[in-house]
A and B are shown apart, each in its own frame.
Chain A
Amino acid sequence: AQTVTQSQPEMSVQEAETVTLSCTYDTSESDYYLFWYKQPPSRQMILVIRQEAYKQQNATENRFSVNFQKAAKSFSLKISDSQLGDAAMYFCAYRTSYGNKLVFGAGTILRVKS
């Protein structure tokens, strides 16, 4: 069974600084998808970024980028120029290429200090 591990329960960053959230996963599949979802205090789950395992190029969405290391099964999220609105719980998630259900990590709470 696939598992997703987020080893940092909580992280803090100063406004305008850069922070990296870690995620590792375990799978025997060669083709799959990885996601980062953001859950602010409103509890809404918001898709931040997605990465296809067959693509070597790391995905980027504005201030959000990933460092995808397939051999190491690592998928970290880098937030640049952190803003107060980035404060949220961040979930790493995995899905097989043919599958449907998302497998989530336990989440990392990100606090942004002004």
Chain B
Amino acid sequence: DSGVTQTPKHLITATGQRVTLRCSPRSGDLSVYWYQQSLDQGLQFLIQYYNGEERAKGNILERFSAQQFPDLHSELNLSSLELGDSALYFCASSPLASGASDTQYFGPGTRLTVL
């Protein structure tokens, strides 16, 4: 158990809908990262938040957005869902924003299925 929690574990929804994925980082970690794992794209970095502020952006679609709250939990919002958004979404956390000693620990993931 990494100490990172994600809810829900599974989510099934229809095209055009909007969903919210939630992540609670390990105790003491200030950074939260979101990754997407799909069959065609592999594991891709989406976005990072550090202590409430957006820190880095990767291949995140405009239909997706994220935020980190004062209690450091994070939410990833996916809207106007398409079939291709079906994937495993991971949250990871680390103590720092970046740097030498920073190692990311992953949550169990949320499996999103868009029908």
Q: Enumerate chain A interface residues (CB-CB to B < 8 A).
A: 33, 35, 37, 42-47, 50, 52, 91, 97-107
**B32 to A: closest C-beta gap in Å:** 11
**A70 to B: closest C-beta gap in Å:** 17
Check A42–B108 contact: CB distance below 8 A. yes
A52 vs B98: C-alpha distance in the bound complex, in angstroms? 14
Give every chain A residue within 8 A of B106 (Cβ-Cβ).
37, 44-47
Check A100–B48 contact: CB distance below 8 A. yes
A107 vs B37: C-alpha distance in the bound complex, in angstroms? 11
Which residue of chain B lies nearest to A31 when distances are taken between CB atoms in the complex? B100
Q: Enumerate chain B interface residues (CB-CB to A < 8 A).
A: 2, 31, 33, 35, 42-45, 48, 55-56, 58, 88, 90, 92, 97-100, 102-106, 108-109, 111
Other A-B pairs, 20, CB within 8 Å; known A45-B106, A46-B106, A100-B97: A33-B100, A35-B103, A43-B109, A44-B2, A44-B108, A45-B90, A45-B92, A47-B106, A91-B43, A100-B31, A100-B55, A100-B56, A100-B102, A101-B33, A101-B56, A102-B43, A102-B45, A102-B104, A104-B42, A104-B43
